[in-house]
Amino acid sequence: GESVGLHLPTLSVQEGDNSIINCAYSNSASDYFIWYKQESGKGPQFIIDIRSNMDKRQGQRVTVLLNKTVKHLSLQIAATQPGDSAVYFCAERRGGGSNYKLTFGKGTLLTVNP
């Protein structure tokens, strides 16, 4: 079926620690997996994506890992800061040509304690 789900609904970390947010997916036909961050009162904001034929991609303080064997996606945030407190969504993109559809997971609330 079509579903993107999360292992943990909430995550609380200390400032400066590393955070790991996990996501499971069920559809192997997705060509990209994407992480979004949603701060309170705002719409989701793109963080990083990873193509389905890759297993790791790094950005600024963030790393996304993709394990296709177990259909698992994770977002690692290094040196977590209070400004990282938000809900994080994983999403998968499916489609072809110029026609794509994003399916989002339910989200993980990350709270960073000072």
Partner 1 sequence: KAGVTQTPRYLIKTRGQQVTLSCSPISGHRSVSWYQQTPGQGLQFLFEYFSETQRNKGNFPGRFSGRQFSNSRSEMNVSTLELGDSALYLCASSSTGGTEAFFGQGTRLTVV
Which residues contact partner 1 by CB under 8 A? 32, 34, 41-46, 49, 89, 93, 97-107
Distance between CA atoms of 9 and 113, rounded to whole angstroms? 17
Q: Which two structure tokens, joined as six digits, stand for 73?
A: 């996606």
Local structure of residue 9 (DSSP, 8 states): S
CB-nearer residue toward partner 1: 25 or 89:
89
CB-nearer residue toward partner 1: 16 or 45:
45
Q: How far is the CB of 94 from partner 1 (least distance, A)?
A: 10
Q: Tell me, what amino acid is at 96?
A: G
By three-state DSSP, how is residue 82 classified?
helix
CB-nearer residue toward partner 1: 76 or 103:
103
Q: How far is the CB of 46 from partner 1 (least distance, A)?
A: 4
Q: How far is the CB of 31 from partner 1 (least distance, A)?
A: 9
Evaluated on CA atoms 25, 46, 11, 66, the torsion sign reads positive
